[in-house]
Chains A and B, each alone.
Chain A
Amino acid sequence: MSAFSHKITRFFLVLALLFSSVFSFAADASEGGEFNASEVILHHVMDDHIWHFWDGHYGTLYLPVIVYSSERGLDVFSSKNFYDDHHNAVAYNGYTLDHGHIYLNGNSVFDISITKNVAMLFINAALLMVLLLAAAKGAKQNAGKAPKGLQSFFEPIIVFVRDEIVKPNIGHHYEKYLPYLLTLFFFILFGNLLGLLPGAGNMTGNIAVTMTLAVFTFIITNVSGNKAYWSHIFWTPGVPLPLRIVILPVEIVGIFTKPFSLMIRLFVAITAGHIVLLSLISLAFIFQSVTVGFVSSLIVLFINLIELLVAGIQAYVFTLFTSLYIGMATADHEHH
């Protein structure tokens, strides 16, 4: 009987967590004036110099702004200086904040501020280090014995990545690339899941983040490409000569389109998921009806569960394609 009530409590706690993302949204519309759905949705999906949790005096975290310009040098200050008491944008010391970009007297500056996505990157990195190092310590302590604690949670996932994704695709040199691919998988997985929490930033849905991951794939693939890989690109064997001239530009473009597709796939999957969720929630505010709100909350709950699945699948697909490309680059030469 107590096990049953424990399950009921857990079910309602999960439901409350899933529904709570609606509240951070509700506060935005009460600022007076008409509800502009597109503005609110884009504002929630894009990066920002402040981290807005709820309306009110203590609900906003003003992240530090770090800019470098040749006139002023390095300047570090709180982004609170860009907003007055009524949350209107003001200029500060010559710097203006316009649509997320910082300008100094009209010219752009080198902006390396801690924005919402950068803060999420730090949180993600800290979470990765704490959880995975604890699992590794457990693995070292329990060597030969049954796994316990965090190690027992992460070990099946790590073994799955190694045996289903890395080893079949890369072959016999897989140990060299395994640490990076495991880090990549868990980074994307945790980043996707963190972005679904209420009030969180859309980190893996930022095209700069996915571009960096794709650039890493590009670098690793092409640096570890062996002679067979490059000869297949520039001078495809087993193919008549006129066709080789045609294949050459296609293959060269292919070197770049493969990481490009990785970047676009992860960015679109996560950002579009968030936009769909936010659009359904804003239906309730556009129609200003409680019934629509109730129905749309149920649909949002269902789509949130799909987003959990998408978070895992996109991490799997990114790691799978990266190990596939590395495997193709390091494959032994087959004799035609």
Chain B
Amino acid sequence: MDISYAIMGAGIGAGLAAIGAGIGIGKIGGSAMEGMARQTEASGKIKSAMLIIAALIEVAALFALVICLLISFKG
């Protein structure tokens, strides 16, 4: 098999990682919006919690991104 299949797999993997991050952060953002709409006094706390959890989810996606980049650099 060519190395080009691995690089194509790396590209697909990076796209899937982006989808995963998008879904995860979208769900967090959605429930944060809903919580802020229900109780506007708690919006400060909800905003800080949302940012922290978004960073954690993003790290998981970036992990996959780094591995895909390493694979693509091998080719």
Binding site for B on A (CB under 8 A): 38, 42, 264-265, 268-269, 271-273, 275-276, 309-310, 313-314, 316-317
Contact = CB atoms under 8 A, between A and B. Distances in A.
B23 interface: no
A42 B74 CA distance: 11
Contacts of B63: 264, 268, 272
B37 interface: no
Nearest to B65: A272
A271, A272, A314, most chain B CB atoms within 10 A: A272
A232 to B, nearest CB: 25
B33 interface: no
B69 interface: yes
21 contacts: A38-B72, A38-B73, A268-B62, A268-B63, A269-B58, A269-B59, A269-B62, A271-B66, A272-B63, A273-B62, A275-B66, A275-B69, A276-B65, A310-B55, A310-B58, A313-B55, A314-B55, A316-B52, A317-B52, A317-B55, A317-B56
A265 B40 CA distance: 32
Contacts of A265: 56, 59
Interface of B: 51-52, 55-56, 58-59, 62-63, 65-66, 69, 72-73
B23 to A, nearest CB: 19
Contacts of A271: 66
B66 A268 contact: yes
B59 A309 contact: no
Contacts of B52: 313, 316-317
A62 B73 CA distance: 28
A269 B62 CA distance: 7
The majority secondary structure among interface residues of chain A is: helix
B74 to A, nearest CB: 9
Nearest to A279: B69
A321 to B, nearest CB: 10
B52 to A, nearest CB: 6
B17 to A, nearest CB: 10
Nearest to B66: A272
Nearest to A310: B55
Please give me the 7 A-B residue pairs with the lowest Cβ-Cβ distance, nearest first: A272-B62, A38-B73, A313-B55, A268-B63, A269-B59, A272-B66, A265-B59
A309 B51 CA distance: 9
Contacts of B73: 38, 42
Given A268-B63, A269-B59, A275-B66, 8 more contacts: A38-B72, A273-B62, A275-B65, A275-B69, A309-B55, A313-B52, A313-B55, A314-B55
Contacts of A275: 65-66, 69
A310 to B, nearest CB: 6
A277 to B, nearest CB: 12
A313 B51 contact: yes
A310 B72 CA distance: 25
B51 A268 contact: no
A233 to B, nearest CB: 25
A182 to B, nearest CB: 19
A180 to B, nearest CB: 22
A316 B59 CA distance: 14
Contacts of A269: 55, 58-59, 62
